[in-house]
């Protein structure tokens, strides 16, 4: 159960990221979670809610994109998604293949933050981005 320490890292990282952009509230966190990351989604969700308490992420949503394992099949010379991580075999030609292309991700891809316009120090570019 190392998900709590991972959740704490996520909260830290996102709070800092938000603060560096002048925001003290994170609304959502977008996370890529590879099937080979060694992290269990349910345990992470549970830990995340605990880790958020009393921080800029309190009440935030954790949006997880599960990333299946993609291997490179040397016989097909193509990338293939594995139906099961118990069998590292090309699903088409059945060649055993150890080469993992994707599926180890544990990555914060984006955060949604609450931004104050009252400060009046937004650049024109930032305002345009907010408007979009």
Partner 1 sequence: MNTQPRLVEVRKNVLKQNDVLARGLRERFLQSAVYVISLVSSPGAGKTTLLERILSTLREQGLQVAALVGDLATENDAARLARARVPVKQITTGTVCHLDAEMVERALASWQLDEFDFLFIENVGNLVCPSSYDLGENLRLVLLSVTEGEDKPLKYPTIFNTADLALLTKVDLATAVEFDLDQARSNIESVRPGMQVLEVSAKTGAGLAELGNFLLSKLPNRAAVATF
Rule CB under 8 A: is residue 73 a binding residue for partner 1? no
Q: Nearest approach, Cβ of 10 to partner 1 (angstroms)?
A: 6
Rule CB under 8 A: is residue 111 a binding residue for partner 1? yes
Binding residue for partner 1, selected from 55, 70, 72, 112, defined by CB under 8 A: 112
Based on C-alpha coordinates, what's the Rg of the chain?
19
Give the Cα-Cα-Cα angle 45, 46, 52 (nearest 5 degrees): 85
Q: Nearest approach, Cβ of 54 to partner 1 (angstroms)?
A: 20
Beta-carbon contacts of 44 under 8 Å, excluding residues fewer than 6 positions away, are: 3, 6, 7, 33, 62, 64
The residues facing 128 across adjacent strands are none
**Could you give the string, one character per residue 20-59, with x where binding to partner 1 holds by CB under 8 A and - elsewhere?**
-x-x---x--xx----xxxx--------------------
Tell me which stretch binds partner 1 (CB under 8 A): 7-15, 45-53, 54-62. 7-15
> How far apart are the C-alpha atoms of 113 and 68, rounded to whole Å?
28
Binding residue for partner 1, selected from 87, 92, 93, 101, defined by CB under 8 A: 87
> How far apart are the C-alpha atoms of 64 and 72, rounded to whole Å?
25
Count of CB atoms within 10 A of residue 26's CB? 24
Rule CB under 8 A: is residue 117 a binding residue for partner 1? yes
> How far apart are the C-alpha atoms of 124 and 131, rounded to whole Å?
11
Contacts to partner 1 by CB under 8 A: 1-2, 5-6, 9-10, 13-14, 17, 21, 23, 27, 30-31, 36-39, 85-89, 96-98, 100, 106-118, 129-130
């Amino acid at each position: 159960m190392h998900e709590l320490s991972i959740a704490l890292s996520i909260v830290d990282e996102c709070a800092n990221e938000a603060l560096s952009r002048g925001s003290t509230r994170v609304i959502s966190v977008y996370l890529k979670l590879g099937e080979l990351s060694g992290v269990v989604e349910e345990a992470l969700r549970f830990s995340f809610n605990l880790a958020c308490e009393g921080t800029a992420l309190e009440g935030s949503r954790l949006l997880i994109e599960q990333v299946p394992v993609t291997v490179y099949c040397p016989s097909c010379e193509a990338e293939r998604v594995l139906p099961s991580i118990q069998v590292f075999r090309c699903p088409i030609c059945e060649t055993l293949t150890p080469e993992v292309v994707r599926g180890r991700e544990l990555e914060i891809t984006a955060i949604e933050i609450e931004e104050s316009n009252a400060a009046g120090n937004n650049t024109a570019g930032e305002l345009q981005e907010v408007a979009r």
